[in-house]
Chain A
Amino acid sequence: MSADQGEVLHAVRLRVNGVWHEAEVPARRLLSDFLRHDLRLTGTHVGCEHGVCGACTVLLDGQPVRSCLMLAVGARDHQVTTVEGLGTADDMHPVQRAFRECHGLQCGFCTPGFLTTVAAFLDENPSPSEVEAREAVSGNLCRCTGYQNIVASVLRAAEITRDES
């Protein structure tokens, strides 16, 4: 779906979850599609693909951004962290443990975007109030949970991080 249309390809080298990757892609390849199609990192989910739902949120140099609103060529030389980079099944990130403990997910489609957003948020604000926790996830849509357990998960993740530090 790339070279066969005769488009100019651009070399993209970027570091994803600590590993340098290189690929040649058309300029119009979105970072979200680059992660999923070219690097086969399918943990990043794409929902609306125009920046509204937040499911595709990844960390760019530590800052949460919408990967569907970035070109892969625009991430050249940068560091990207996807949900795969947060933790593993055996060694989960505190935010992942909190979401499991507090039932912060049901179908799981929106969850990668919440996890990356919340992980970065707690780095910046380790002891948020409930209002701050709600504001932090205000740009992420979830159609299952009704958000109550997600907010509880954010607060619980902060608690776990504090207890373990």
Chain B
Amino acid sequence: MKPSPFDYNAPESLEEALSVLARVGGDGKVLAGGQSLLPILNMRLAAPAHIVDINRVAELAYVRVEPDAVHVGALARHADVERDEAAHGALPLLRQALQLVAHPVIRNRGTTVGSLAHADPSGEMTAVLALTGGSVTAARQGATREIAAADFFAGPLESSLEPGELAVSARFPRFPGRTGTAFVEVARRHGDYAVCGLAAAVTLDASGAVESARAAYISMAPTPLVLDLTEAVTGRTPAAADWSAAGEVAGGQVEPEADIHASVDYRRHLARVLTARALAEAAGRAA
């Protein structure tokens, strides 16, 4: 068998899940969609003593659209969020990003909150949480806390969740009116981890000029990197704005690392080009 032996727990309610997590503490690992955890177990990169399978905790399987934000429960699959028309209407960036998360079959099983908790620096949804200024709600027996995106991602593959805690939901705030968004990335093959990618949001003022231009990058830093690029394009209409100038600013601020897929220079080049492309695309959608 591929994974090492573990004790298997399959709680049927949130209360039971938190009680199991309190008991097993740091020896426990939560299993939701399993699309990152199972490969890690199969390759024996990790051997947790206890698996806490939350797939039967039906109360966490929801996508809820509220006036100010989209709330995603820990058991909502990527595909559930991607296909949710109300969530798409409220925050189109969710679907724009999810279409780039692995492949459709993986999205049928993988969960959005699980991918946030996995905190992969190339995970698209980490950038969405960062750019929207969202948060993750973590519960433990008898206590709940809300962790802002900026504090949630502690490092590569490391969230600030503590032993005994369960990420029960994520909150993705909506953007102000007249905001357009886009998610753009370059990967070696479609569906692979991005060599460089970014979520972009451009907001226009009442006169139709750019009021704000921001982007959040993946695969460029240990945690999602948010840059405010407004200064390079402020006050111009989307047609007159120099998006390449914003790309230059971004290229000067990112500090990517090299790996077998891309050098530092190439990643910086991608940041410049993709920033201009994503901001222009986002601005085109800001009406």
Interface centre among B41, B51, B102, B105 (most CB of A within 10 A): B105
A162 at the interface (CB under 8 A from B): no
Q: How far is the CA of A57 from the CA of B105 in the complex (A)?
A: 8
Q: How far is the CA of A41 from the CA of B106 in the complex (A)?
A: 23
A139 touches B106 (CB 8 A): yes
B266 at the interface (CB under 8 A from A): no
Q: Which residues of B contact A121 (CB under 8 A)?
A: 104
Q: Which residues of A contact B102 (CB under 8 A)?
A: 139
Q: How far is the CA of A121 from the CA of B3 in the complex (A)?
A: 31
In chain A, what residue has the closest Cβ to B1? Answer: A28
A49 at the interface (CB under 8 A from B): yes
Known: A69-B109, A139-B106. Is A26-B5 also a contact (CB below 8 A)? yes
Q: Which residues of A contact B8 (CB under 8 A)?
A: 8, 10, 27, 71, 73
B53 touches A71 (CB 8 A): yes
Q: How far is the CA of A64 from the CA of B79 in the complex (A)?
A: 12
Partner of A138 from the list B34, B35, B108, B190 (CB cut-off 8 Å) is B190
B6 touches A50 (CB 8 A): no
B104 touches A51 (CB 8 A): no
A45 at the interface (CB under 8 A from B): no
Known: A26-B5, A28-B4, A138-B191. Is A74-B55 also a contact (CB below 8 A)? yes
- Interface size bucket, B side? 20 to 34
A117 touches B1 (CB 8 A): no
B155 at the interface (CB under 8 A from A): no
B1 touches A26 (CB 8 A): yes
The binding surface of chain A is classed by DSSP as mixed
Q: Which chain A residues in 26-77 approach chain B with CB under 8 Å?
A: 26-30, 33, 49-51, 54, 57, 60, 63-66, 68-71, 73-74, 76
Q: How far is the CA of A110 from the CA of B2 in the complex (A)?
A: 21
B38 at the interface (CB under 8 A from A): yes
B253 at the interface (CB under 8 A from A): no
Number of A residues near B (Cβ < 8 Å) is 35
B105 touches A5 (CB 8 A): no
Q: Which residues of B contact A150 (CB under 8 A)?
A: none
Partner of B103 from the list A1, A2, A26, A138 (CB cut-off 8 Å) is A138
Partner of B105 from the list A29, A50, A66 (CB cut-off 8 Å) is A66
In chain B, what residue has the closest Cβ to A32? Answer: B2
A136 at the interface (CB under 8 A from B): yes
A51 touches B51 (CB 8 A): no
B43 at the interface (CB under 8 A from A): yes
Q: How far is the CA of A10 from the CA of B6 in the complex (A)?
A: 12
A74 touches B1 (CB 8 A): no
A73 touches B10 (CB 8 A): yes
Q: How far is the CA of A10 from the CA of B53 in the complex (A)?
A: 14
A7 at the interface (CB under 8 A from B): yes
Q: Which residues of A contact B79 (CB under 8 A)?
A: 63
B53 touches A73 (CB 8 A): yes
Q: Which residues of A contact B42 (CB under 8 A)?
A: 30, 49-50, 68-69
A4 at the interface (CB under 8 A from B): no
Known: A69-B35, A135-B104. Is A50-B43 also a contact (CB below 8 A)? yes
CB B56 to nearest CB in A, in angstroms, measures 9
The 5 closest A-B pairs by CB, nearest first: A139-B103, A27-B8, A50-B39, A69-B38, A28-B3
Using CB atoms and an 8 Å cutoff, list the residues of chain A in contact with chain B: 1-2, 5, 7-8, 10, 26-30, 33, 49-51, 54, 57, 60, 63-66, 68-71, 73-74, 76, 117, 121, 135-136, 138-139
